Amino acid sequence: MNYTKCFCDPTKELNPRVLQISNNQPMLRYIIMMYDPNSPLRKNYPELDLRKQVASQESGYDLQLQDGERSELEREILVDSIILYLRMINNLTWTEMCTTEEAIWEYNRRILEPIKSNDKEKDEMSAVKMKGTMMSELKMMNIRYKELTLEFFGEDDDLIEASKIKVSKISSEDIAKRLRNVS
């Protein structure tokens, strides 16, 4: 297969920038073959599980260890490395994901703020209406964020789930503190 259109050709010596992600070269080669938007495997093997098998064979990165499972730490290292690689090559998508996520948090904070009453019924009605508009816009931002997530992770549901698990370790108390500190 011809990987010359990838950010870094995984069949040749790896780019020094890519090597900053990890010293596990078979894993890096697997990541490039699987997740680079210009990888021929994405076009030739649209089915994700088959693409993972082919990338594993071609890269020398063993997805199935003798016990059949990777350790939690190994899985976390793989997910972190994939995300670092995607950030490296997908800067515009990653940037849009970050700004959209920040806008979502800001909208949530503003929607949750109580309406301040100045005994002007018209102002209160306007504020309530504004919150409704913001909620509609928030819904659109969430849809866009999901689209970006699919684009960023190459529609790999397993990777999307694994990235959510890392984020979900944040407690609701942490989120409340974050919201308080934003205001």
Look at residue 12 and tell me whether its pLDDT is greater than 90.
yes
Look at residue 109 and tell me whether its pLDDT is greater than 50.
yes
Look at residue 20 and tell me whether its pLDDT is greater than 50.
yes
What percentage of the chain reaches a pLDDT higher than 90?
Answer: 32
Confidence (pLDDT) at 159 = 78
Among the residue ranges 61-70, 94-103, 127-136, 170-179, the one predicted with the least confidence is 170-179
Look at residue 170 and tell me whether its pLDDT is greater than 50.
no
CA-wise closest residue to 36 among 19, 50, 28: 28
Confidence (pLDDT) at 126 = 83
Question: Is pLDDT larger for residue 172 or for residue 130?
Answer: 130
Domain edges within the chain:
1-89
- The total of other beta-carbon atoms located within 10 Å of residue 90's CB is 21
Q: Which residues contact 28 (CB under 8 A, 6 or more apart)?
A: 10, 14, 18, 19, 21, 22, 81, 85
Residues 81-103 pLDDT 10s: 988 898 888 768 877 886 888 88
Residues 127-152 pLDDT 10s: 888 889 999 999 999 999 899 888 88
